[in-house]
Amino acid sequence: MTGSLLQYGQAELPTENSTHSYWHRDPSRKLLGHRTTSDLPPKADIVVIGSGITGTFAARELIAGGRGVVMLDAREACWGATGRNGGHCHPGVWNNTPEVARFELATFNLIRGLVAEHDIPCSWHVAGGVHPIFPPEVLAAARKRISSLQQHPDLRDKAVLIQDSDELAARRVAPGALAAVYQPNAARCWAYKLVTWLLERLLAEHDAVAFNLQTNTPVERIQRRGSSWILHTPRGSVCAGDVLLASNAYTSHLLPQMAGLILPVRGQVCALEPLPGAPHLPHNYVWIKSEERQYFTHQYLIQLGPQGEEDDGGEWSLSPAEDRPLVFGCDYTAPGRGEGISRDDEVDPILSRILHMGLSKAVKLLPGDQPEREELRVAYEWTGIMGYSLDGGPWVGRVPEALMHNLDVEGDVGGLWISAGYTGHGMPVAARCGVAVAEMMLGKEGGIQVPIQWIASEERAERARGLDIPRTIEEMGTMMVTE
């Protein structure tokens, strides 16, 4: 399928070349160019499309359940959003419904436990998350949300509204903020290293019948014949009984009916060199800022430390700058910016200006009354494509027949599954969604229960097509109050 044939909002295939992510500066030598078998297997039990966090956690569960998995990726392993993110695992508690907050906290704990159990070298560090608040509309929503959390004993201590100026300063929030929300359950994580560690382990522990990873093998189209799905790639075709679309923003390329349900949005991230003598940032930070014509940007920041270790009294400030970058990201859903873009082979100069010069407006980098530097040196800058769900929630489960109208289908319509559409918030969601959809594929009962509103269905699709993503501060504030 060529770009000229794409309908509005439909994703292209991932670009062959992409901007260079900081997270890929030390790639897995075992996985670069990896093909478990030199030829593409003609048949498979299950094909998983996508090798990010969703596909990897789903594959683990499927293999543990006795199924054979062929995993296909258009580029290198974990070269999409998981390998191009902002380094957060930051559950939404105060800005979500209680049901979703619990799901995200459970995902956070799943990853934390897995990293601890296997000592996975992925720079995992629980730092707590600070949400500086600048727009009055967001402060009003935060007050209402934090108050409502008091009705839920298991959540009431998971988010705290801070309005005291001294405490805001201690959290390194810039003076212009009206308030901030602090959440203790937030971590920084080198997600590429987490996922590639898991993939390497799957390859080491299983033969090619159980797990076969084929990188640089884009799926160009899918069709149904009888009881099998046929996946067409430049290297040949694969027939499978079940297919999982773990392709997030790119899902609509293979399933065009998703074009009005999951919108590709390009985000941009840079790794900034810390200032000499600047103390290490103690937390993760997430905030929204008003831009031109009341459109807003969603911005997020972490600072890495050597091997993700605890700061032991200033040692981090003596380590090489490249080992402790300020990883600063930005999403801008205004028309003509990242919205509807599925190419990550270039950067947006407008977002570059925000990223290079906007950090000190939200976070205090230098101690005391020292004036902040207006612009920081950029070591890496890259883009990544997120899948924005029009109704705000991931799409998980069996793909309903109504979403297959544009596919070439002869025979029954079973066996096509999806877990995608994380709206730039996949780290505290995607792992358990991947496990949950795998359990559905296995027919397993009593496993992970995703929020009912996330289950893919024809009725949900009909409702979602009348919605739109929030683009202005006013729309965001309204959504947060009424959700």
Q: What is the pLDDT along the chain (483 residues), one digit of tens a residue?
A: 334 467 878 999 999 999 999 999 999 999 999 999 999 999 999 999 999 999 999 999 999 999 999 999 999 999 999 999 999 999 999 999 999 999 999 999 999 999 999 999 999 999 999 999 998 989 999 999 999 999 999 999 999 999 999 999 999 999 999 999 999 999 999 999 999 999 999 999 999 999 999 999 999 999 999 999 999 999 999 999 999 999 999 999 999 999 989 999 999 999 999 988 899 999 999 998 877 656 788 999 999 985 444 444 444 444 566 778 999 999 987 777 889 999 999 999 999 999 998 898 899 999 888 888 888 999 999 999 999 999 999 999 999 999 998 899 998 889 999 999 999 999 999 999 999 999 999 999 999 999 999 999 999 999 999 888 777 766 666 665 555
Please report where in the chains the tokens 């959540």 appear, as a residue.
155
How far is residue 13 from each of residues 147, 367, 380, measured CA to CA in Å? Answer: 44, 46, 24
Q: Which CATH architecture has domain 3-83+192-261+391-467?
A: 3-Layer(bba) Sandwich (3.50)
Label the pairing between strands 284-290 and 296-303: antiparallel
Encode 411-423: b = buried (16+ Cβ within 10 Å), e = exposed: eeeebbbbbbbbb
For the chain, how many residues are written?
483
pTM of the model: 0.94
Using the 8-state DSSP alphabet, how is residue 17 labeled?
A: S
Residues 213 and 403: their CA atoms lie apart, in Å, by: 28
* Beta-strand pair 88-89/187-188: antiparallel
* Pairing status of strand 129-133 against strand 179-183: antiparallel
